[in-house]
C-alpha cells in the first residue's frame, strides 16, 4: 500500500513561552492545540483523534480528553520519550490511510523549567520518586546514571573508535546557536564559538555545558488531516512521504552502542517515501546533546559510520550550509521542555511552507535558491543512547 501523501500536516503552533510558572502542562497543551487549529483554519469539532505524550508522572490520553472536553474516536498516548511525536505522526498517518479518522491533533506541553526538573542531571530522583524497579533500574540507577551521562558514554565511545573531537561536537552547538540568534523566541540568542563550548564546564565527560540542551517550559501542536480535509484548510498542506520507527537497547548486554534506533527507522522512511539522501533539503534532528545530532546523522545514512565528526564540520548544518539542520535553534539553544519531538515537525512544516519569507530564517534564500525547501527529514530520539531509546523518522514534502 502506497502511503505517500495519504495524510498532511495542515496546521502547527509552537507555544512562544519558555517560562510559564503560572500555567499547567494541560493549559499549554490546550493553547497549543487551539493555535494549531487556528493556523489550519479548523475548529474543535473537526478534531476526531488525539495524540499526546507527557513527562512522567504525566498526564494520560483519557485525562487529556477530559480536560479538553472532547470525545475523539482515536486516542494514542504512545510514550517513547522525547521523540514520541514522530511516532504519533506515523500512527496518525496509518489511521488516516485506513479511513478511521480525518483530523488528528498531536500535542505536547511541559513546565519542566518552572517546575525545577533537572531533566539531564537529576538522576533517578528527578521526578521525585526514589524507589527503583527491580529491573532494569536496580542494575543501572544505583550507579548514579544521569541522562547526560548516558549520552556522554556514547560520545566517549565514538571518540575512542573514530577519533571524533570535542571541537567537532562543538560545531553543532555553534550552528544551533547561530540559528537561535534569528529566532526571537529562542531561549539563548547570543552567538557562541567553538572555544566558548570547549571552555564551558564539563557536566559529564566529554560533554560540556554547551553540548547539552536547555531546559525550558513550552509546548506545541500539529494538526494532521486526510487529503480531502487538507484541501480545505487555510495553508498549503505539508505531505507525509515516509515514516519509520525503531527501538535500540542493550540487547541482553551485547548491543553496539553506536548503532541507534535511527539505523532501523531511517530505511523504512526512505523506502516508503521513495527518496534518497540527496533529495533531502533540510533536517530537523533531535538535539538533546551535540552527540545526538552527530550520531543520528551517521545512523540516518547521511555519512558513513565514524565520519560524523567531519560531516558536521565546516558549517554544513548551518542554514546557509549544505544540509540546514535545526533552523529554529534546536534544543541546544531554542527550547527543550523535557521532550522536543513536536518542534521538529513544527519547524520543518514552517520551512516547507515558506513561512519565513523576508526573514533571515528563510532557508532557501540563504542558500540562493528560488523556492523553499521541497523535502525535509525529521528524526526524533527519546530515552537515552547509553541504555535504551526510540527513534522515529519522518520525511515531509511541500505541496
- Contacts with other proteins by CB under 8 A lie at 118, 121-126, 130-146, 148-149, 152-154, 156-157, 160, 201-207, 250, 252-254, 257, 386
The DSSP secondary-structure symbol of 100 reads S
Any alpha helices (H) in the chain, and if so which ranges?
A: 25-40, 61-68, 84-97, 147-162, 166-180, 194-199, 227-230, 262-273, 290-300, 308-311, 341-353, 363-366
Provide the terminal-to-terminal Cα distance of the chain, rounded to the nearest Å. 21
Q: What's the rounded Cα separation, in Å, for the pair 236 and 349?
A: 10
Residue with Cβ nearer other proteins (145 or 393):
145
- Write down the least CB distance from residue 218 to other proteins, Å: 21
Nearer to other proteins, 119 or 266 (CB): 119
CA distance 14 to 27: 14
Give least dist CB 144 to other proteins, A.
4
- Cβ proximity to other proteins, 250 vs 264, nearer residue: 250
What is the CA angle 153-154-159, rounded to 5? 100
Backbone CA torsion sign across 223, 96, 53, 26? positive
No. of H helices and E strands in the chain?
12, 11
CA 298 and chain centroid, separation: 17
Nearest-approach distance from CB 277 to other proteins, in angstroms: 28
Minimal distance, residue 295 CB to other proteins, in Å: 13
Cell matching residue 366: 540563504
**169's grid cell:** 561536537
- Cα–Cα dist 105/274, whole Å: 26
Q: C-beta of 215: minimal distance to other proteins in Å?
A: 12
The whole-angstrom separation of Cα 229 and Cα 72 is 17
Q: How far is the CB of 291 from other proteins (least distance, A)?
A: 11
Nearest-angstrom CA–CA distance, 58 and 75: 16
Which residue, 71 or 254, has its beta carbon nearer to other proteins? Answer: 254
The smaller minimum CB distance to other proteins, of residues 57 and 128, is found at 128
Residue 340 burial (C-beta neighbours within 10 Å; 0-12, 13-18, 19+) = buried
3-state secondary structure at position 316: coil
CB of 333 to other proteins, least distance (A): 20
CB of 199 to other proteins, least distance (A): 15
Closer residue to other proteins in complex, CB, 165/236:
165
Query: Smallest distance from the beta carbon of 21 to other proteins, in angstroms?
Result: 19
User: Which of 90/156 has CB closer to other proteins?
Assistant: 156
Helix (H, G, I), strand (E, B) or coil at 87: helix
Instruction: Compare residues 68 and 203 and give the one whose CB is closer to other proteins.
Output: 203
Taking the C-alpha atoms of residue 53 and residue 56, their distance in angstroms, rounded to an integer, is 9
Nearer to other proteins, 145 or 351 (CB): 145
Amino acid at each position: 500500500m502506497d502511503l505517500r501523501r495519504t495524510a498532511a500536516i495542515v496546521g502547527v503552533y509552537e507555544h512562544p513561552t519558555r517560562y510559564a510558572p503560572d500555567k499547567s502542562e494541560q493549559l499549554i497543551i490546550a493553547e497549543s492545540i487551539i493555535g494549531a487549529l487556528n493556523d489550519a483554519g479548523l475548529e474543535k469539532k473537526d478534531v476526531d483523534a488525539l495524540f499526546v505524550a507527557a513527562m512522567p508522572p504525566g498526564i494520560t490520553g483519557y485525562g487529556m480528553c477530559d480536560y479538553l472536553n472532547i470525545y475523539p474516536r482515536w486516542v494514542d498516548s504512545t510514550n517513547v520519550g522525547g521523540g514520541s511525536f514522530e511516532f504519533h505522526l506515523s500512527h496518525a498517518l496509518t489511521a488516516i490511510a485506513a479511513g478511521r479518522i480525518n483530523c488528528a491533533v498531536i500535542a505536547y506541553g511541559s513546565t519542566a523549567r518552572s517546575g525545577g526538573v533537572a531533566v539531564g542531571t537529576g538522576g533517578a530522583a528527578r521526578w521525585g520518586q526514589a524507589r527503583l524497579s527491580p529491573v532494569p533500574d536496580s542494575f543501572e540507577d544505583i550507579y548514579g546514571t544521569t541522562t547526560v551521562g548516558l549520552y556522554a558514554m556514547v560520545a566517549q565511545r565514538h571518540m575512542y573508535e573514530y577519533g571524533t573531537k570535542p571541537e567537532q561536537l562543538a560545531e553543532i552547538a555553534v550552528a544551533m546557536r547561530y540559528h537561535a540568534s534569528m529566532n526571537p523566541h529562542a531561549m539563548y540568542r547570543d552567538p557562541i564559538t567553538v572555544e566558548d563550548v570547549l571552555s564551558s564546564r564539563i557536566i559529564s565527560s566529554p560533554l560540556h555545558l554547551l553540548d547539552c540542551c536547555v531546559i525550558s517550559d513550552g509546548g506545541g501542536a500539529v494538526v494532521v488531516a486526510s487529503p480531502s480535509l487538507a484541501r480545505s484548510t487555510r495553508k498549503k498542506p505539508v505531505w507525509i512521504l515516509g515514516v519509520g520507527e525503531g527501538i535500540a537497547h542493550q540487547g541482553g548486554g551485547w548491543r553496539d552502542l553506536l548503532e541507534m534506533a535511527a539505523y532501523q527507522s531511517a530505511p523504512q522512511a526512505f523506502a516508503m517515501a521513495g527518496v534518497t539522501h540527496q533529495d533531502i533539503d533540510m533536517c530537523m534532528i533531535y538535539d538533546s546533546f551535540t552527540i545526538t545530532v552527530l550520531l543520528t546523522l551517521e545512523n540516518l545514512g547521511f555519512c558513513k559510520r565514524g565520519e560524523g565528526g567531519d560531516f558536521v564540520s565546516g558549517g554544513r548544518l548551518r542554514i546557509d550550509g549544505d544540509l540546514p539542520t535545526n533552523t529554529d535553534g534546536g534544543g541546544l539553544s531554542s527550547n527543550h521542555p523535557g521532550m522536543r519531538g513536536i518542534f521538529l515537525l513544527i519547524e520543518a512544516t514552517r520551512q516547507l511552507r515558506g513561512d519565513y519569507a523576508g526573514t533571515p530564517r528563510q532557508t532557501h534564500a540563504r542558500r540562493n535558491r528560488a523556492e523553499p525547501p521541497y523535502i525535509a527529514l525529521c528524526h526524533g530520539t527519546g530515552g537515552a543512547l547509553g541504555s535504551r531509546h526510540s527513534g522515529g523518522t519522518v520525511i515531509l514534502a511541500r505541496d
